[in-house]
Every structure is written in C-alpha cells, then in structure tokens.
Amino acid sequence: MVKDAERYITRCFDLARMGAGSVSPNPMVGAVLVHDNQIIGEGYHQKYGAAHAEVNALASVSASNRALIPAATLYVSLEPCCIFGKTPPCTNLIIQEKIPRVVISCLDLTPEVKGGGVELLRKHGIEVITGVLEKQGQALAATRNVSVSQQRPYVILKMAITRNGFLLH
C-alpha cells in the first residue's frame, strides 16, 4: 500500500511540474485517480485562474470508467482547496463525486485552507491520508507556501556583483 501510494504521489509531482511558469501565484498541483491499481484519470493545474488538478483529473476519466469513481482513490500533491476563489472549492467536487478515499502529500499552508480541506472531507466520511512523500510535496509547493505563510518571496538565489560585473562568492 505504501509503495503504491508513493508511486501515485510521485506521478502527481510529475504532473504538477507541467504547470511550472503558468500557475503562479497558485501552487503547482497534480492529481491522479486510481481504481484497482489502474490510473483512470489524471490532471494538473495548467494555468492561473483555470481548473485545478482535481477537476482536470476527474474530467479526464473516460465515459466507460465514470462508474468507477465512487470506488476510486484520489491522489493529490497538495491538500484540495476548500475556499471559493477564481474557481469553486475542489473539496466540493470530491464530495459530489463520492470519492471514498483521498491521499495527500502535504497540506496547503494558505491560512484560509490549512487543514480545512482535510477536515471537510473527513466530515463527509471520506478517508483522508496525509504525509505521503511530504518533504518532496513541500519542496514542490515551497514558493507558494513561503509566500502565504511568511508573507515574503521564496528566494532561491542571492548574489552580489561588483560594479565591473564580477560575481562575488
């Protein structure tokens, strides 16, 4: 079970990275819907203001596999949102589609969400597992999480240059 969860969460990370450069200030997120160890849907957040990863994963499920959704597990690289923004909350769609189990890499540190998505899903009887490859998930969401939790930009490079263009180290 653990190895399967890690494999699907790793796929979520791969999908999430496909949104790099297009989703800011939102985080990069990937989602995979699995039934009996078969991926039946997958998606990622493709563009700021557009559908989130969970929505795209559910939309990608073929008509012949739609009946499998209430018996599937949703894997997500970041906690599903539970607030209205440019799009409706992903938690509402998960509840509406009767997905019984959600596996999450790490929590969304946005103050309005932080743990709220997990709490809402559990309140509706959905089994939620968090912390699968959590450090990798946090690294993937670092730019967003630092911005919303510490109100500062995520700095990955700081350098000094002399007046004549030489780098200092």
Amino acid at 32: V
- Distance CA(61)–CA(40), nearest Å, equals 6
- One of 54, 97, 127, 134 is an active-site residue; which one? 54
Nearest to residue 12, comparing CAs of 51, 43, 40? Answer: 43
Element (H, E) at 102: strand 101-106
Sign of CA dihedral 86, 87, 88, 94: negative
**79 part of the active site:** no
**Residues with a known catalytic role:** 54
